[in-house]
Amino acid sequence: MLNPFVFGGAGLLDELLGDPEGWPHPVRAFGWVIARIDQARSRIGSVWTLRILGLVLALGLPLAAAAFAAGVVGLCGPWGRLAELVLGAWMLAGRSLRTAVRSVAEALDAGDLVRARQAVARVVGRDTAGLDEDGVVRAGLETLAESLCDGVVAPLFWFALGGLPALWAFKAVSTLDSMVGHREAPWTHFGWASARLDDLMNLVPARICALLIAAAAGSVPALRLAWRDGGRTASPNAGWVEAAFAGALGVELGGTNAYDGVAKEGPRLGDPRRPRDPALLREGLRLAGRVNRVAILMGTLTMGAIHVL
């Protein structure tokens, strides 16, 4: 198991620095590889060839990422733990998630709805040009909720469980899912393995994340609504986190979104006890920060206790 000081140090380094704008990032390299292979996919017509190629990519890229991370740590010799700390922090996204959504909150606080729509368009896939203030706030809150698992808690979970190789492998899987793991054509057959592997690797972290949200907020309704509404989404994991986040804030998330001009009705999670206004988005940002810090603290203490025993 990972050294607790490496784990805690990586988490704190991410909290302090995040991802400085303009710096290179391994996820961009993953994206470049995936995009090149996706171009080759566009020339394949056989369903089974697409499924096999998708399976090879879903397994091959994470294994290559894990091998690279392990190799770097091995090459660093006595400085291996420092490499784990720095390369681990590089793959954590607790601060960068909040930074992205904070720009939405700042635009709303300034009364600039146009700029808020532009800011939220950078973090969601839905149509944003026609969103009112309520819609922008909901989009920002849902981004925080959705990303708390696969962007914050799950990377910390795999980092703690399997060290730097497991963290890098998970981030490769997460990138694959976001780029090709779609039910819609043309990725239906090519992305199936990436989507299923992402579901599997988030299965335990999503439930842990719901518990962490409840703990960070001191909220019993977060647990109750995660249990009540967690199974409403098509994803086996997303609903648990979003419902817990909605319950902690006393708000309803989900509903109708438009994609390329086509409205799609999604499940509604939580209860509409509070209006979705800019102040609520700020509260959501503070909660996301507490969840990240509680996850780092709990992980560090747990690993420290295991090392002592």
Enter the tokens of residue 154.
């799950």
Determine the Cα–Cα distance for residues 176 and 158; give it in Å rounded to an integer: 17
Enter the tokens of residue 123.
């973090």
Please state, as a whole number, how many other Cβ atoms lie within 10 Å of the Cβ of residue 247. 29
- Residues 288, 293, 299: CA angle, nearest 5 degrees: 125
Classify 256 as helix, strand or coil: strand
Cα 180 versus chain centre, distance: 16
- Report mean pLDDT in 10-residue bins for the chain, 309 residues: 91 91 87 94 90 96 97 95 95 94 96 96 91 95 94 96 97 96 89 96 97 97 96 94 97 92 92 94 97 96 88
Determine the Cα–Cα distance for residues 14 and 88; give it in Å rounded to an integer: 9
- Please list the helix, strand and coil fractions of the chain in percent, rounded to the nearest 5, in that order: 75, 5, 20
Determine the Cα–Cα distance for residues 132 and 113; give it in Å rounded to an integer: 8
Q: What pLDDT, on a 0 to 100 scale, did the predictor assign at position 144?
A: 96
Asked whether 213 and 241 are in contact (CB, 8 A), the reply is: yes
Q: What pLDDT, on a 0 to 100 scale, did the predictor assign at position 21?
A: 76
If you write DSSP's letter for every residue of 259-298 in order, what string do you get?
A: ETTEEEEEEEES---S---HHHHHHHHHHHHHHHHHHHHH
Q: Which residues contact 59 (CB under 8 A, 6 or more apart)?
A: 193, 197
Determine the Cα–Cα distance for residues 253 and 268; give it in Å rounded to an integer: 6
The CA distances from residue 151 to 39, 189, 222, in Å, are 26, 25, 20
Q: What pLDDT, on a 0 to 100 scale, did the predictor assign at position 189?
A: 94
